[in-house]
Chain A
Amino acid sequence: MELVCPAGSLPALKAAVDAGADAVYIGFRDHTNARQFAGLNFTEKRMREGMEYARRRGTRVFCALNTYPQPAGWKHWTATLDRAADLGFDALILADMGLLDHAARYHPGIPRHLSVQGSATSHEALRFYHREFGISRAVLPRVLSMDQVRQVAGHSPVELEVFAFGSLCIMAEGRCYLSSYLTDESPNTCGACSPAKAVRWEEKGDDLEARLNGVLIDRFAGDEQAGYPTLCKGRFEVEGAVYHAIEEPTSLNTMDLLPELHRLGVSAVKIEGRQRSPAYSGQVAGTWRAAIDRVKADPETFEPAPEWQRTLGELSEGGQTTLGAWTRSWK
C-alpha cells in the first residue's frame, strides 16, 4: 500500500518526500488541475527540480491534469499534457475523456490514473475507463462507503487509490456544479471551488459575514471560529431553520480503517491538500507513513496511535474530523 501525498510548492514536495511519501502529486501553475490557487503549483523549472529531488530518494511524482478543457482551451490543455509527458512524470492523473484519449494515443508509455474528478463509482465505470483509455489506476470518489469500496475492489480491473485524509467533498466529485452556479468558476472548468476571488469578509457589529459573489454563505458570532466560505459548508435557511443544511466544516480522516483498506488490496491511500503549507505536507506524510508501516507489519493488532490522531486533528479544517461516507454515520 502506497502513500500518495500532495505538494503545491517545491518546499511542500521536499517535506512530503523527506517524511516518507511513496509518491507526490503536483500540478502546473494554471487551471489545468483541480487546485488552482494564486501562488500555488509549479513552473516547469520547479517541476524539474522537484522530480530530481524526489527521484534521488526513490519517490515517484505524478502530474494532475484533472480539469475539463473546453474547445477554447483544448490546445493549451493538450500542450500542457504533452509537456508533462516530456518532463517524464511517473503517471498522469486525468479526468476528461478527451484528454485521456489524447494521452493514450500520443503518450501510451506513461501510466494514466483516473482522477477522482472522473467520477467512477463502480467497477462497470472502471471497466469503461480501462478499456477505452487503458488506465492503470483510479482514485475513488469520497461518496462511497466501506461496503461499496469492497464491492468495487472485488471486481476492479485496475489498481485503486482512496482518499485517506484532508478536505472532504460530500458531493460526487467531477459532477458538482455548485461553485460555478454562484461564481463563474468550478472544479471542472478551472480547478476552483468557491474561489477566493469571489470571497468577501464583512464585519457587521460583532458578527463576521462571509460572502461568495455576494451570497451570504455564513455569519459568525464574535466567539465563533470563522471558516472559509466553501459553499456547501455554510449555514443556510430551510423552511425557517438555520443550520449547516448540506455539511458541517469537517475533514476526512480514515486512519481507523487502514487495516481494512490494506486487506482489500487497495493500492494507495491519498492525502488531499495541495493548497496547504509545506508543514502540513510534511506532518501529514510523516504521520501516515508511520501508520502504513505499522499496518503492513501487523494488520491484526493495528490501532492508530493517539499522537497521530492528535496531529491530524490539529491539521484539520475546523479542528474536526470524520470518517465521511466510509461508515455512513448519517444512515
Chain B
Amino acid sequence: MTMKLSLGPILWYWPRQDVLNFYAEAAEWPVETIYLGEVVCSRRRDMKVADWVDLARDLRGCGKEVVLSSQTLIESEADLRTLRRIRDNGEFLVEANDQSALNMVIEAGLPFVTGPSMNVYNPATLRVLLRRGLQRWCLPVELSRDTLADMQATLYEQSLHAPVEVFAWGFLPLAWSSRCFTARYYGKPKDRCEFVCQQHPDGLALKSREHQDVFRLNGTSTLSGARYDLMRELPDMQRLGVDTVRLSPEHEGMAEVVARFDRARQGDMPERHPLHLAEAPPCDGYWYGRPGMDWSWTP
C-alpha cells in the first residue's frame, strides 16, 4: 500500500487570506490528509475555530481527510475554552498536542490522533493511548528510524494496530514557551506584540555569530534552523510500515514539494535540484540518531 501524504498544521502566522489561498491550492494537491488549526499562539486570531471548521468542510468536500489540531502549549482557561470548541466540532478528528486536549477527547469518548509534540517514546505509552481511542500517532521529532523500527516490531509482536505518521519535511518544531521571541526581537511586550510575527511568514532566522543557521524563531515557538528533509528515506519508511508522511507548510514552493514527495512515494525519486524556498540548509540527523542538525546525504 502506498504511504499517505499529509500537510501538517501551518506553524506560522499568515494573514487570513493567505491561509485561505494556501488551502484553495492544497485542495488540488496529492495529499490525503490535512491538519488545520492554530497550534502555536492563542493571540493569533485571524482564523477562529468556526473558520477552521468551515474550511475543513470545504476540504473534506474535495476528498481530503481533515483533522483539527490543538494548541501545543495550553496556559489559560481561555485556551481550554478554545480546546472545548475544537473537541465539540462534531465532525472532524482531533489531533491532541498536549494532555489537556488528550483528556478532553478521552472524557468525551472521541477517537483522536497525536501530534509530534506528544511524547510517545515507547510501546507502553502507545498501549495506554490505544485503549483510549488513539487512531494514529506521530513520531516525536527527536526520535530515530531505529527507535521507530523497534516500536513497529513490538507493536507487530503484540498484534497492536497503531498507524504511524512521520514528520518528514520542513522546519522542525523544537520548543514552546509562554514568551514570544519575535516580540522580544522587536522589543515589544507580548501582550502588545502588534502581531509582528505576521511579518515573517517563514519565521526569523536565528544564527550564530559565525552566521550559522541555528534556530528559527516563530512567535512563542522555536524551530530548527535547518529544514528537515527525509524524501530520500521514503523507501525505508515504506519498509517500516509508515502510514503517513507529514510535510510542514511553507509560504512558497509547497506545491512542488508535495509533487516531489508524491513521485518519491511511488518509487520515482526526483533529482535534487533547488526549489524556490526560504533559504536554509537541509538536515536529517534525527532520523539517523544523530544531532538533529546533521545532514548525511551527499550526491
Report the minimum CB–CB distance from B288 to chain A (whole Å): 10
Residues of A within 8 A of B (CB): 68-72, 74, 95-99, 101-102, 118-122, 124-125, 127-129, 131-132, 143-145, 147-148, 151, 170-172, 174-178, 180-184, 186, 188-189, 213, 215-217, 219, 232, 235-239, 241-242, 245-247, 325, 328, 330-331
- List the A side residues contacting B79 at CB < 8 Å: 122
Q: In the complex, are the beta carbons of A71 and B181 less than 8 A apart? A: no
- Tell me the interface secondary structure of chain B in the complex: mixed
Q: In the complex, are the beta carbons of B117 and A175 less than 8 A apart? A: yes
- Tell me the interface secondary structure of chain A in the complex: mixed
Report the minimum CB–CB distance from B225 to chain A (whole Å): 8
Q: In the complex, are the beta carbons of B80 and A172 less than 8 A apart? A: no
Given contacts A181-B292, A238-B204, A330-B189, contact A122 B100 (CB under 8 A): yes
Docked complex Cα distance between A275 and B110 (Å): 43
- List the B side residues contacting A184 at CB < 8 Å: 285, 289-291
Q: In the complex, are the beta carbons of B291 and A71 less than 8 A apart? A: no
Q: In the complex, are the beta carbons of B177 and A70 less than 8 A apart? A: no
- List the B side residues contacting A71 at CB < 8 Å: 122-123, 147, 150-151, 154
Q: In the complex, are the beta carbons of A119 and B99 less than 8 A apart? A: yes
Q: How many B residues face the partner with a CB closer than 8 A?
A: 73
Q: In the complex, are the beta carbons of A181 and B293 less than 8 A apart? A: yes
Q: Which of B176, B178, B185 contacts A245 (CB 8 A)?
A: B185
**Chain B residue at minimum C-beta to C-beta distance from A99:** B124
Q: Which of A97, A143, A151, A239 contacts B128 (CB 8 A)?
A: A97
- List the A side residues contacting B214 at CB < 8 Å: 182, 215, 236
Q: Which of B178, B184, B208 contacts A325 (CB 8 A)?
A: B178
Q: Which of A125, A176, A331 contacts B174 (CB 8 A)?
A: A176
- Indicate if B104 sits at the interface (CB-CB under 8 A): yes
- Indicate if B44 sits at the interface (CB-CB under 8 A): no
- List the B side residues contacting A180 at CB < 8 Å: 142, 286, 291-292
- List the A side residues contacting B25 at CB < 8 Å: none
Q: In the complex, are the beta carbons of B76 and A151 less than 8 A apart? A: yes
- List the B side residues contacting A181 at CB < 8 Å: 142, 172, 174, 215, 224, 285-286, 291-293
**Chain A residue at minimum C-beta to C-beta distance from B205:** A238
Docked complex Cα distance between A100 and B146 (Å): 24
Q: Which of B74, B151, B293 contacts A122 (CB 8 A)?
A: B74
- Indicate if B102 sits at the interface (CB-CB under 8 A): yes
Report the minimum CB–CB distance from A25 to chain B (whole Å): 21
Q: In the complex, are the beta carbons of A174 and B119 less than 8 A apart? A: yes
Docked complex Cα distance between A98 and B126 (Å): 8
